Structure formats: structure tokens, C-alpha cells
Amino acid sequence: MASEPTVLHPRWTTWVLENLATDTPPGDIVEGLIASGLSGERARAEVDALATGPALIAARMFLRRIDALEQIVRLRRAHRAAQAPGHTMITRGPFPGIEVFLAAHWVPGVPAVFTDLAPRSDQWAPRALAERFGEVQVEACVGRRGVVDPDPDWQPLRRELSLRELIDRVMSPETGNDIYMLAKNNATQRAGLRPLLAELGLPVALFGPSLDPRRTALWIGGAGTHTPLHHDTDNSLLCQLHGRKRVRLAPPESLALLALARGVYSRWDPVTAEDPNAPERLIEIEVAAGDALFIPAGWWHQVDALTPSVTVTCLGFALANDFAWYRPGAVL
């Protein structure tokens, strides 16, 4: 029979401390160590030593802090439930002015659809863009269907092509999610597409006199393009300029989604918002040409194009808008 280890493995030390900190009866912990191969005398000695040591004091201190923070999150969830019963309501209507927007949406982090911010113009239709800017060389992600996680693993999929070729492929019903121009493809930083930013005409009070191309992104894709559940580290305004998209959202305090986080992405990518086994209930909305969806930083969202789609997302608000430190999924 194998001899007992002279030093308890860190995995077992951690297990004992976690159980002691959560008030598991010491006898149960001893039984667990005996089942792992320790003698009864050695198991009791290990538990007694850890139960009176400084590591348990630190573990209990951190557990108290976590409990306090989870109470804050619980209170936030209760407030949201009072504002929107069942987490199903996002307001839709004209932009209310900068002061109301700040008080009702920016500061509390509440999404909304504004119906008078994004331009309604046939000039943003894919074929019209091809007529105007077809010879401009752009970058898109190609071959997405052959990759398990094409959004986090986007770099090997980068391809240069003309905007006209991109539009031709996007408009094909067979293309689906295989080709997509993403924010990371930096299309608005291409000199040939700069005139598009001036055509957005977004409020100066929100974005200043001109849009920063480094904080603005152009998305072009066919019906079926898919962005998995994730959160951003900035507030963003999603301006739908052509076509329709379905967006599913959940607030940052969705602890079930945090538990499934892989960086800024989630390991759960829902097929339907009403999945009975879903770890979190999602808000589902549809945006069409002329809609602008405000998505606060930290809100989980999944986006699917229902038709060929042209979208611009704007991060360059004339307000402090950099929460790069917000990456709770990276510390789990």
C-alpha cells in the first residue's frame, strides 16, 4: 500500500480550508481526507492544524467580502426587477435629450432603443454602398463556419477584398455566417470609407463635433451572421442602418452568466431566449433600420442578423467611456 504523503497536496489543503470557512462539520472533512487515502490520525491532525491557522482567518475574511459584494449585486437585481418586471422591458422611442439620457440610461446603465438617432436612408443599403465605395479595399473575416469560436479566434480568418466583393458575398443566401466584417476589421479607419462617418449625423452632445474612426465600427454581413453572448468594456450605441437584427441581453449582475464567462465571452450561447434550461433569462428585442440601441458596458448581449445587415457601433461618446478594467470573467 502506498505510504501517506509527507505534505498535504495544495488541492486538499484548499479543499479543507474551503469547507472549514463554510462551516462544514470537521468530522465530515476528516472523513473526506480518510477517503482520499490518509489515516484517521493524520486526517484529524491536518484538519486541526488548518482550523487554528492564519489561512482560515484569511479565507473567512475573503468570504465575508464576497458575501457583502453579492448582497450589493442582489440589491441591484431587485432594483432592476422593480424597474422592469420580469426583466423584459427596454424602452423604445425618440432620444429624450442629453440630461434625461444621462439620468435614465447612462448613469444607471439601462439599455434603450432610440428611434430618431440612426439615419434612415437607402444610401446605407449594401448595394448602394457597393456603388459608392465598391473599389475600396477592406478587411473581413472569411471562413467563419469552419471555426468553433470565430469571434474570439478571428485573426486567422482575416482577408483583404474589395467592398464590392464583400457585398456580393453578403447578399448571397448561401453565405450565412461564413463572412462578416467585424469591429476588429477596423473598416472606418480606412480613408476610402471616412465619408460614411459624417453621414451618421449623431448628436454633438453625445459624440462631439465629429466621430472618432478609432472608436467607431462598421459591421456588414448576411442573414445568419452571429455574434455570441459577450459583454463589452465600453458603453456603445448600435446604429442599425440597413436590415434587421435580433439582440438578446442580460444585465452585468447576471451571476449565472458570470459563472459561465470565458473572458468577455460566455460559454453559453443560447439558441432561444425562452430555453427552459437557461441559466439566466434574457431580454429579446429586434432592431431595424433607423433604430439605435444603447448597450451599457458590462451588459451581456448576443446579436443575430435576420436579413443582410449594415450596422455602425459608436463608442466615442463625449463622456468618459473606458472601463477596460471591467473583465470579471478573466479573474474567475
The confidence score (pLDDT) of residue 83 equals 57
6 and 97 share a domain? no
314 and 250 share a domain? yes
27 and 129 share a domain? no
Give a yes or no: residue 166 inside a domain: no
CB of 164 closer than 8 Å to CB of 130:
yes
In angstroms, the CA 240 to CA 288 distance is: 6
pLDDT surpasses 70 at 181: yes
**pLDDT class of 87 with cuts at 50, 70, 90:** very low
pLDDT surpasses 70 at 273: no
Give a yes or no: residue 172 inside a domain: no
Q: What would the mean pLDDT of 316-322 be, rounded to a whole number?
A: 93
The confidence score (pLDDT) of residue 29 equals 92
Give a yes or no: residue 120 inside a domain: yes
76 and 98 share a domain? no
User: Cell numbers of 268, please?
Assistant: 453559453
**pLDDT class of 228 with cuts at 50, 70, 90:** very high
The mean predicted confidence, pLDDT, of the chain is 90
Give a yes or no: residue 34 inside a domain: yes
Q: What is the pLDDT of residues 149-165, one digit of tens each?
A: 999 999 999 999 999 99
73 and 110 share a domain? no
Q: What is the pLDDT of residues 183-225, one digit of tens each?
A: 999 999 999 998 999 899 999 999 999 999 999 999 999 999 9
The confidence score (pLDDT) of residue 272 equals 67
CATH number of the domain residue 218 falls in:
2.60.120.650
In angstroms, the CA 165 to CA 85 distance is: 46
Contacts for 171 with CB less than 8 Å, ≥ 6 apart:
126, 127, 222, 308
> What are the angstrom distances between the C-alpha of 264 and each of 83, 162, 239?
26, 31, 22
pLDDT surpasses 90 at 115: yes
Identify the domain boundary among 45, 66, 83: 83
**Structural domains counted in the chain:** 2
Say what percent of the chain tops pLDDT 90: 71
22 and 128 share a domain? no
Give a yes or no: residue 157 inside a domain: no
Give a yes or no: residue 118 inside a domain: yes
The confidence score (pLDDT) of residue 82 equals 62
> What are the angstrom distances between the C-alpha of 255 and each of 72, 188, 252?
12, 35, 8
Identify the domain boundary among 13, 48, 83: 83
Give a yes or no: residue 170 inside a domain: no
320 and 260 share a domain? yes
The confidence score (pLDDT) of residue 37 equals 86
Average the pLDDT over each of 3-17, 67-81, 234-248, 260-274 and give the range with the smallest value: 67-81
Query: What is the domain extent for residue 294?
Result: 92-133+186-330
14 and 121 share a domain? no
Identify the domain boundary among 55, 83, 111: 83
Give a yes or no: residue 149 inside a domain: no
The confidence score (pLDDT) of residue 331 equals 79
CB of 258 closer than 8 Å to CB of 329:
yes
4 and 104 share a domain? no
195 and 262 share a domain? yes
Q: What would the mean pLDDT of 39-50 be, rounded to a whole number?
A: 91
18 and 105 share a domain? no
Beta strand residue intervals within the chain, DSSP E: 92-93, 112-114, 137-142, 158-162, 179-181, 216-221, 226-230, 236-242, 245-250, 261-262, 265-266, 283-287, 292-295, 300-305, 309-314
104 and 222 share a domain? yes
